[in-house]
Amino acid sequence: MVRLPKSERRSLDALSHMTIPDRLGNQVPLGTFARLEIGEGLGSIRRKDNKRVVTVSGEVQGRLADDVRREAQAAVAGIPLPPRTRIAFTGEYEEQEKNQAFLGKTFLIGVLLIALVLVTEFNSLRISFIILFTVVLSLMGVIIGLLVTGFPFGVIMTGIGVISLGGIVVNNAIVLLDFIENLRAGGMPIREALITAGRIRLRPVTLGAISTVVGLVPVALGIDIDFVNLRVVLGSESSQWWESLAVAIIFGATVATALTLVMVPTFYRAFYGRAEARTAVAGGGAERA
């Protein structure tokens, strides 16, 4: 790198008196054939994927980043752009989109794996559908919990909570339906089997949900333990990261458990009640014959 002395770097006169050799080798001052003006220029040229980019960034405080992004998108939507130029939102928004796509695929794969295990275990698509329906019930609980507490839907932590709920609420339905199948295999009518299973399995199903909820209440309330100073800390900084996950699991497990005790027997009766009735009618007709 070749530079002028510091005293001459900011002087246009010094620049105009610089000599440049012409084709004949004569030294010609730059000011004789060039007009020098002060203007603006790029301090640096940045590229991404071999394309020149200009990055505009800012800090968001006191508001949700998604709300600010929507306003920014609406503000730049009407700006005329030169050819081969576009505006894209990256940074936190780009990472959020990637995380959302990843968690969506993970949730779908998890549900498919659970369905595969259920079909293999019960050898019935109907029972597998009834059990997987409890996952939908848990999503209703997550939405209710976020509305009640006022937490935003965090793509990462709330998404992880929804995926975790899949294994928690499915377990309650398995406990209930497995007992119903055992009672029916022993010759008990479907109505009596549903009532008996609901009465006997009520305590293990509710205790399982209560233990999960109680274990996550300290996380939802932001309670932390400082083992160094032996004291309880309320509202620690690390707890804010886990609060949305805890709220999603607490409300999802609570609502799903309550609805599972009602909706699972109802769906089971709807799927298998008619088949049992037709069997009973056919059996009565055969006896009369």
- SS3 readout for 29-96: EHHHCCCCCCCCCCCCCEEECCEEECCCCCCCCCCCHHHHHHHHHHHHCCCCCCCCCCCCCCCHHHHH
Return the pLDDT at 148. Answer: 83
Containing 123, the helix (H) or strand (E) segment is none
Give the single-character DSSP code of 8. G
Asked whether residue 277 carries a pLDDT value surpassing 70, the answer given is no
- Dihedral sign, Cα of residue 26, residue 32, residue 34, residue 36: positive
Encode pLDDT of 36-64 as tens digits: 887 776 667 777 777 888 878 777 777 77
Delimit the domains of the chain by residue range. Answer: 92-277
Residue 19's DSSP bridge partners are: 29
**pTM greater than the 0.75 cutoff:** no
**Domain 92-277 annotated CATH 1.20.1640.10:** yes
Nearest to 259 by CA among 141, 128, 129, 111: 141
Return the pLDDT at 287. Answer: 45
Q: Are 54 and 46 in contact (CB under 8 A)?
A: yes
Q: How confident is the model at residue 81 (pLDDT cuts 50, 70, 90)?
A: confident
